[in-house]
Amino acid sequence: SSSKLLIKGGTVVNAHHQEVADVYVEDGIIVAVKPNIKVGDDVAVLDATGKYVMPGGIDPHTHLAFEFMGTETVDDFFTGQAAALAGGTTMHIDFVIPVNGSLSAGFESYEKKAKKSCMDYGFHMAITKWDEVVAQEMEIMVKEKGINSFKFFLAYKGALMISDELLLQGLKKCKSLGALAMVHAENGDAVFEGQERMIELGITGPEGHALSRPAVLEGEATSRAIRLASFVNTPLYVVHVMSIDAMEEIAKARKAGQKVIGEPVVSGLVLDESGLWDPDFVTAAKYVMSPPIRPSGHDKALQAALSTGVLQLVGTDHCVFNSTQKSIGIDDFRKIPNGVNGIEERMHLVWNTMVESGQISVRDYVRITSTECARIFNIYPKKGAILAGSDADIIILNPNASFEISAKHHHSRTDTNVYEGKKGKGKVEVTISGGKIVWENNELKVIPGAGKYIEMPAFNYLFDGIYKADAQYLSSTRAPMKRFHSST
């Protein structure tokens, strides 16, 4: 059966253009975008007069059904995605974690976890060890499984952390496959040392987490990863940029022409450390994530970097553990499962912080919440645009309605919310996923299994010029200079 839908009279916003127009959708695909589309009685009509019609959000950074730090996130691919849809996000890219170092076993396990998906999703993959098998499996992931990005953790010593040697091998492999290397940039050895210092000082509560891994360690690892990517001459994507220190390294590299992408996350943009470390453990522990939420000042600087294009897109790092799980670390902050919520709140908080405040335009909002992510991961304009032929993942945002965030009515399965009580103007009133209305009148109509896996092809525009630069470098390298040879 065919489903037809007309969105009438809204301001249709793409990253490149906006106009008052109707949007006509058939069978999950946008068929036409123009003023005054006439349709028959069999077509459902949504009135969007005075509202914005925009591409659904794409969250580049989530962890659903993630087994981490001895436990598993409470949001799985159904509950996390339902929350996303209620907040105007219609696609996310999650991180596959290898199983005992095996990428294919990791991929299969995430394929299973994702069967209950109610919206479209893609995968990045983490690389946690190195050998010939891993190198071969990376190629299979890119050529056969639709993965075009790999994350390297420079932190979580003894668990996910890798060495510089592995990072170099990984960067080279990514480059040869036309895949994008991503880094979690904190110096894991120094973090480990910092954690021991805190414990020795008797600081065992959640504030010890932030104190043990200051911004200087994020700056160091960001700089190191950027320089190694420059040495290999391959693009680099820095995930969850939380500090001025890391952001300035990215700014410097971009100014020099290096292909570096910086992803701030909502928590880093809208929260600062003041008042977070409540004496009540559970109240404080919900904010524990890595890199940590920084002191006041970093948030505003990251907003400014986003508005000027130094940073390019916004993720969430949605990775939620409930109060019981967070309490695993009641006597030792090192055991608190790391992660905060955000998949449902991102679109509202970015609107409020960046657009409502006057820092960016509505078109830029579309770019940083959707289009840029689709472009980077090579799925534009299937995703990230309201154009004829694009997938019908669409939101209707009413700039005059208001939102208020609370664990009392959010859709995530977790029992706390790091944005508790935040409110403002600009509300996602309707979410359309795959051509179907899944969120309207504050009600979700989601179906497990309705979401599709989106394959992300390699060799995207980020690699333009990379191989040419190598060829030029090789052709310009000279033979050893004769004067250094003593005999012969």
Which residues in this chain contact ligand URP in the complex, by CB under 6 A?
63, 184, 240, 289-290, 317, 319, 338-339
Of 266, 241, 272, nearest in space to 88 by CA: 266
Distance CA 292, CA 289 (A): 5
- Using CB atoms within 10 Å of the CB of residue 400, give its burial: 0 to 12 exposed, 13 to 18 middle, 19+ buried: exposed
| Residue 268 binding: pick among ligand URP, Zn ion, none (C-beta 5-8 Å cut-off by kind) | none
| Residue 338 binding: pick among ligand URP, Zn ion, none (C-beta 5-8 Å cut-off by kind) | ligand URP
| Residue 488 binding: pick among Zn ion, ligand URP, none (C-beta 5-8 Å cut-off by kind) | Zn ion
- Residue 440 C-beta: closest distance to ligand URP, Å: 32
| CB closer to ligand URP out of 63 and 410 | 63
Report phi then psi at 165, rounded to 5: -60, -45
Which of 7-15, 116-124, 276-284, 478-486 is the region at the interface with Zn ion (rule: CB under 5 A)?
Answer: 478-486
**What's the longest Cα–Cα distance across the chain?**
92
| Residue 220 binding: pick among ligand URP, Zn ion, none (C-beta 5-8 Å cut-off by kind) | none
| CB closer to ligand URP out of 213 and 427 | 213
Contact criterion met (CB below 8 Å) for 340 and 267: yes
| Residue 485 binding: pick among Zn ion, ligand URP, none (C-beta 5-8 Å cut-off by kind) | Zn ion
Residue 119 C-beta-side C-alpha neighbours within 13 Å: 37
- Residue 155 C-beta: closest distance to Zn ion, Å: 7
| CB closer to ligand URP out of 141 and 336 | 336
Give the number of other Cβ atoms within 10 Å of residue 239's Cβ: 25
| CB closer to Zn ion out of 64 and 355 | 64
Interface pattern 171-210 for Zn ion (x via CB under 5 A): -------------x--------------------------
- Residue 291 C-beta: closest distance to Zn ion, Å: 8
| CB closer to Zn ion out of 205 and 339 | 339
Report phi then psi at 289, rounded to 5: -145, 165
| Residue 422 binding: pick among ligand URP, Zn ion, none (C-beta 5-8 Å cut-off by kind) | none
Chain residue whose CB lies nearest ligand URP: 338
Distance CA 164, CA 213 (A): 19
- Residue 170 C-beta: closest distance to Zn ion, Å: 15
- Residue 95 C-beta: closest distance to ligand URP, Å: 7
Distance CA 399, CA 426 (A): 4
- Using CB atoms within 10 Å of the CB of residue 101, give its burial: 0 to 12 exposed, 13 to 18 middle, 19+ buried: middle
- Residue 236 C-beta: closest distance to ligand URP, Å: 16
- In total, the chain counts a number of residues equal to 488
| Residue 289 binding: pick among ligand URP, Zn ion, none (C-beta 5-8 Å cut-off by kind) | ligand URP
- Residue 350 C-beta: closest distance to Zn ion, Å: 18
| CB closer to ligand URP out of 211 and 319 | 319
- Residue 262 C-beta: closest distance to ligand URP, Å: 15
Q: Does 485 engage in binding with Zn ion (CB under 5 A)?
A: yes
| CB closer to ligand URP out of 148 and 338 | 338
| CB closer to ligand URP out of 247 and 289 | 289
Question: How many residues of this chain interact with Zn ion, rule: CB under 5 A?
Answer: 4
Task: Output Rg (C-alpha) for the chain, integer angstroms.
Answer: 23
- The stretches of 327-383 forming alpha helices (DSSP H) are 346-350, 362-366, 372-376
| CB closer to ligand URP out of 341 and 390 | 341
Distance CA 396, CA 83 (A): 16
Per the DSSP assignment, residues forming a β-bridge with 62 are: 94, 318
Q: Which residues contact 427 (CB under 8 A, 6 or more apart)?
A: 348, 397, 398, 401, 402, 403
Report the amino acid identity of residue 485.
Answer: H
Name the strands in the sheet holding 89-96, side by side, starting at the edge strand that comes first in the sequence: 57-62, 89-96, 120-126, 149-153, 180-184, 236-238, 260-262
Per CB under 5 A, the list member of 2, 36, 441, 488 interacting with Zn ion is 488
Distance CA 35, CA 290 (A): 47
| CB closer to ligand URP out of 290 and 322 | 290
Distances (CA, A) of 69 to 128, 334, 423: 15, 10, 32
- Residue 377 C-beta: closest distance to ligand URP, Å: 17
Task: Name the token pair of 188.
Answer: 């894991």
Binders of Zn ion among residues 316 to 335 (CB under 5 A) are 317
Give the number of other Cβ atoms within 10 Å of residue 360's Cβ: 19
- Residue 319 C-beta: closest distance to Zn ion, Å: 6
- What are the residues binding Zn ion (CB under 5 A)? 184, 317, 485, 488
